[in-house]
Amino acid sequence: MDSDIKRVVVKVGTNVLTNRDNRIFGPVLRELVRQISVLYEEEIMVILVSSGSAMAGKEILGETSIKDPSIRRQVYSSVGQPRMMRHYYSIFHDYGMRCAQVLATKRDFDIGLHRDNMINCYEGLLSEGIIPIANEDDAVSLTMSMFSDNDELASLVAELIDADRLIILSDTDGLYTGHPDDEGSKKLNEVKVGENVEQYVKASNKKEGEGRGGMASKLKIAKGSARKNIPTYIANGKRQNVIIDILNNKPVGTKFIN
């Protein structure tokens, strides 16, 4: 493993965290934490950007009478966020580790006191060996200024803490030249930001689940982060050992470089 890697931001999407019945899938969370614990022993700190709170809330509440989709999302997320943190807290505790919740709105990344305060929070947690778990503060985020999705949040966090890598975990193995299930379709192992791979996105897209971010969003974010000299990966979060394999330079996922 590259000795220069000290900080890694890992974003895990809703489609990774849920099973085919759209329920939070505990074994996936446990495998994520296991990998983070392995990296921790290598003195690599992981900042986890986790989706899933809205789905976790929906599991509890079921269908609601709330018609407004923005308010419905706020309610689901408000109920689901502590449930997700309870899952994470318990699993990290099993591995002898500590975690913390960091909720943010887009304005927290604006230059000024909000941003400085956010940096202080992350640096304080990391200095104590505590794994930050970030998510959008859906309960107070205004619709017109929400993150486009958690891919965007992850990229902003990676820039904020000067991460060495950004890993975006989805339910696909990477960017393909066509639909992943097509026989003639090939996975792209490495992409430079100047390459025109947007042509492949429409063909590569699978049916979207409950998350907001599709492959077009992931590609835009991956290229944007790579331009800032943060090598970025899109990979399958349900693949065992995926984070460790990426950091060991195995041909996993699609890597984006400047």
Q: For the chain, give the percent of residues with pLDDT over 90.
A: 68
What share of the chain has pLDDT > 70, as a percent?
92
User: What was the pLDDT predicted at 75?
Assistant: 92
Residue ranges of domains in the chain, CATH in brackets? 7-257 (3.40.1160.10)
* Band of residue 28 on the pLDDT scale cut at 50, 70, 90: very high
Q: What is the DSSP letter of 146?
A: S
The three-class DSSP label of residue 151 is helix
Rounded Cα distance between 24 and 34, Å, is 17
Mean pLDDT score, 89-111: 94
Question: Per-residue confidence at 208, pLDDT binned at 50, 70, 90?
Answer: very low
How far apart, in Å, are the Cα atoms of 220 and each of 156, 213, 243? 13, 11, 21
**Best CA proximity match to 206, nearest among 193, 215, 218, 219:** 215
Whether residue 211 is predicted with pLDDT greater than 90 in this model: the reply is no
Q: Is 20 exposed, middle or buried (0-12, 13-18, 19+ CB in 10 A)?
A: exposed
The predicted structure's pLDDT at residue 243:
98
Question: pTM here?
Answer: 0.92
148-185 pLDDT per residue, tens = 788 999 999 999 999 999 999 999 999 998 888 888 88
Q: Is the pLDDT of residue 53 over 80?
A: yes
What is the predicted pLDDT for the residue at 1? 79
**What does the DSSP assignment read for 43-111?**
T-EEEEEE--HHHHHHHHH-S-S---HHHHHHHHHHHHHHHHHHHHHHHHHHTT-EEEEEEE-GGGGST
The alpha carbon of 204 is separated from its chain's Cα centroid by a whole number of angstroms, namely 20
> What single-letter amino acid sits at 56?
A
